[in-house]
Amino acid sequence: MLQPKKVKHRKWQKGRSRDRKIETRGINLDFGTIGLKSLSSSWVTAAQLEAARKAIQRHLEKSGRLWIRIFPDKPITQRPPEVTMGGGKGTVDHYVFAVKPGRILFEIDGVKREIAHAALKTAASKLPLRTKIIEK
């Protein structure tokens, strides 16, 4: 699964989701001709991203090209179960990417339109947010 090789700060503060904000970066199809665009905001974990990638690769069958436009670099900490309050912040459990509405998640090129639509529809079902398929 995707995770950073080296980080400046091992643990981050949570931050707050801004539902009303719309993404300003990564909103255009830059590499492929068909893409998957987010319509809502959510944290996408590395495991969800990997599941979506595998679903797309299964549809593409060694043809075409896939670009993943997001990378999970935000560390999420987890305390062990049944541990009392105090004792500091938990250890890093997994990594996520905070998606805002308008962000392009995946791009595909080099396959038929129907195959790309089927692949992106399957990938969208693996993700915890609403999406739509867009074309150039």
14's tokens: 């949570």
Percent with pLDDT over 90 in the chain: 90
In the structure, what pLDDT confidence band is assigned to residue 21 with cuts at 50, 70 and 90? confident
Q: Is 126 exposed, middle or buried (0-12, 13-18, 19+ CB in 10 A)?
A: middle
Q: In this model, does residue 20 exceed pLDDT 90?
A: no
Q: Where are the beta strands (DSSP E) in the chain?
A: 34-38, 42-45, 65-68, 74-78, 91-99, 104-109, 131-135
> pLDDT digits over 47-82, tens only?
999 999 999 999 999 899 999 999 999 999 999 999
- Higher pLDDT pick, 118 / 21: 118
**CATH code for residues 34-79+88-135:** 3.90.1170.10
Mean confidence (pLDDT) of the chain: 94
For residue 18, pLDDT beyond 70 = no
**What is the pLDDT, as a whole number, of residue 19?**
62
Q: Report pLDDT for 54.
A: 97
